[in-house]
Structure 1
Amino acid sequence: MTAPRLGRLIGASLGPGDPELITRRAWAALQSSARWLYPVKKAEESSYALGIVERGGLAVPEDAEALVFPMTRDPVALAKAWSRAASRTVELLREGRDLVFLVEGDASTFATFGHLARVVRELAPEVEVETIPGVSSFAAAAAGTGLSLAEEDETFAVIPAAYGVPVVERLLDEFDTLVLLKVKPLLDEILDLLTRRGLLATSCFIEKVGSPEERIVRDVASLAGQKVNYLSLMLVQNPKRVRGELRRGCRKHAATAPA
């Protein structure tokens, strides 16, 4: 007797907030017969990823289902949550229908989908997984602020700010541009570092890029003491590593941009 076919698990990258950045491939997956899964931090809470699709004009199917991924560093709580989410995903896949998991940003970059797919494969190694790439938050932020992440033979690094100020400071000497993700917990410490290193004028803060609540702050020193959204990042350029005149700084670009 042939075993029933499992559905495919599809990670559909939606970009960081603007539905116009959803790729044609992800859009096709959303409009296919696949059942939608989407992440939430708490039960009955709204989903940022789902909101991107809704702003794009697609109606949420009645059978779309939320998977809970709590915001906690408790390893026991996290393990239980991942186990529940993966088990439910496999249960649905065994019905033979494809599942499309909605991913904000890019599914291969600091995304929930990679971990979910890995745990699902541990439970059901035969599951076919497809990852649809998308626009990352930092790529959209660079485009929205008119900055280049790297030119010619320059280098850039992308790290969560949670790695800490000592790591950020070391990388400032090794890369032309740093992308600091999720700066909320260490914002004031990062600002102190940028002040000490003389990099305030070549840094930009971007919050909820591409969404209706997007905020771009070029005078990053003004953020001191503020509470910012979890979905925030900072682009930092080190002029000491840029050849010639300081030409790519955040405020420099804003001042010279055509009206």
Structure 2
Amino acid sequence: MGRGARGEAPGRLIGVSLGPGDADLITRRAWAQLQRSDALWSYPQRSLKTDSYALAIAQRAGLAVPADALQLIFPMTHDVEKLSRAWLRAAEAVLPVLRSGRDVLFLVEGDASTYATFGHLARTVQALDAEVALEIIPGVTSFHASCARLQLPFSEQDDTVAIVPAAYGVDMVERQLDDYDTLVLMKIKPLLDELLTLLSRRGLLEHSHFVERAGAPDERVLRGTELLQLQGTKVNYLSLLIVKNPQRLRGDRVKGCKKKTPLPDPLPNIPTT
């Protein structure tokens, strides 16, 4: 069913991760794919009136966008029916190319397996044609890039970490605060004021960090009480909060968790013979 007119196998659908915004974070493997002249570029776009963030990363890297590059519209909505129709339209747009035996590169900001549109497209394509092969090129995530920018360890020793879409609600976020050393809150835009109120009430503002459009030229970073500047404002969809739990960092007992073993002191200087 999926083979082309000459009987060749379908092309591969390749998720090309580009990192969160800094073109220097594109991996060599992703770069090699973007140099190909035989593959079709495709990229996600929220609407015809907005630019593609993923495509902009490739452009900042100095890459010329191929004339036949294909934009795929994925609207910002929680309406399951609208999303399903968008995924189907995107899959139907790339399938003829794949069935001709040509690979399709799908450009993704961040990492293609982490809160990315690529998974929805890949599942829909394979539901229509199971012979289409997939490949995912891993990339730097926004939270890892943010920790590097902040010079903040993401995790150490036996730290526990949770990565949570804030849309689950403030009550759930508060429960997570007691159970993890590091909490990464994604998609914070709709609940930002409520999250700031929570962090203030829990005395966690000084241990919190805000990063918007990590690695992009207009990146914004705020730390501690600087976050109060955000109250009543609108932030970009590509924003996150990284919260450290000071009780767990001190090794205090939290909800029956085993007390953490402190890091050893540095080794003394040992004379050599």
- Measured in 2, the distance between the counterparts of 1:158 and 1:244 equals 21
- Measured in 1, the distance between the counterparts of 2:63 and 2:195 equals 39
TM-score (norm 2): 0.87
Structure 1, residues 90-120: CA drift from partner, whole Å, max 9, x if none?
1221121111000000001000001111111
- Measured in 2, the distance between the counterparts of 1:129 and 1:25 equals 15
Q: 145, 161, 166: which is aligned to 2:166? A: 161
**Offset of 1:78 from its aligned partner?**
1.2
The answer for the alignment partner of 1:5 in structure 2 is 9
Q: 235, 250, 254: which is aligned to 1:243? A: 250
The answer for the alignment partner of 1:29 in structure 2 is 33
- The residue type paired with residue 29 of structure 2 is R
**Offset of 1:149 from its aligned partner?**
1.4
**SS of the residue 2:240 aligns to:** strand
- Measured in 2, the distance between the counterparts of 1:185 and 1:209 equals 19
- The residue type paired with residue 228 of structure 1 is V
- The residue type paired with residue 145 of structure 2 is A
**Offset of 1:45 from its aligned partner?**
2.9
Trace 1:1-259 onto structure 2 (pairs within 5 A). 3-32=7-36, 33-43=38-48, 45-218=50-223, 219-243=226-250
The CA RMSD measured in Å over matched residues stands at: 1.4
- Measured in 1, the distance between the counterparts of 2:48 and 2:96 equals 19
Q: Classify 1:2/1:60 alpha carbon distance in 2 versus 1 (closer, same or farther; 3 Å).
A: closer
Any stretches of 5+ residues in structure 1 without a counterpart? 246-259
**SS of the residue 2:87 aligns to:** helix
TM-score (norm 1): 0.92
**Offset of 1:121 from its aligned partner?**
0.6
- Measured in 1, the distance between the counterparts of 2:10 and 2:58 equals 26
- Measured in 2, the distance between the counterparts of 1:92 and 1:2 equals 14
- Measured in 2, the distance between the counterparts of 1:153 and 1:111 equals 28
Structure 1, 13-22 or 68-77: larger mean CA deviation: 68-77
- Measured in 1, the distance between the counterparts of 2:251 and 2:99 equals 60
- The residue type paired with residue 220 of structure 1 is L
- Measured in 2, the distance between the counterparts of 1:244 and 1:71 equals 41
- Measured in 1, the distance between the counterparts of 2:49 and 2:34 equals 22
**Offset of 1:2 from its aligned partner?**
6.7
**SS of the residue 1:131 aligns to:** strand
Structure 1, residues 16-53: CA drift from partner, whole Å, max 9, x if none?
00010000000001111211000001125310000000
- The residue type paired with residue 30 of structure 1 is L
State which structure, 1 or 2, has the greater radius of gyration over its C-alpha atoms.
2
- The residue type paired with residue 46 of structure 1 is D
- Measured in 1, the distance between the counterparts of 2:47 and 2:229 equals 32
- The residue type paired with residue 63 of structure 1 is D
**SS of the residue 2:180 aligns to:** coil
Structure 1, 188-197 or 1-10: larger mean CA deviation: 1-10
- The residue type paired with residue 7 of structure 2 is A
**Offset of 1:244 from its aligned partner?**
6.5
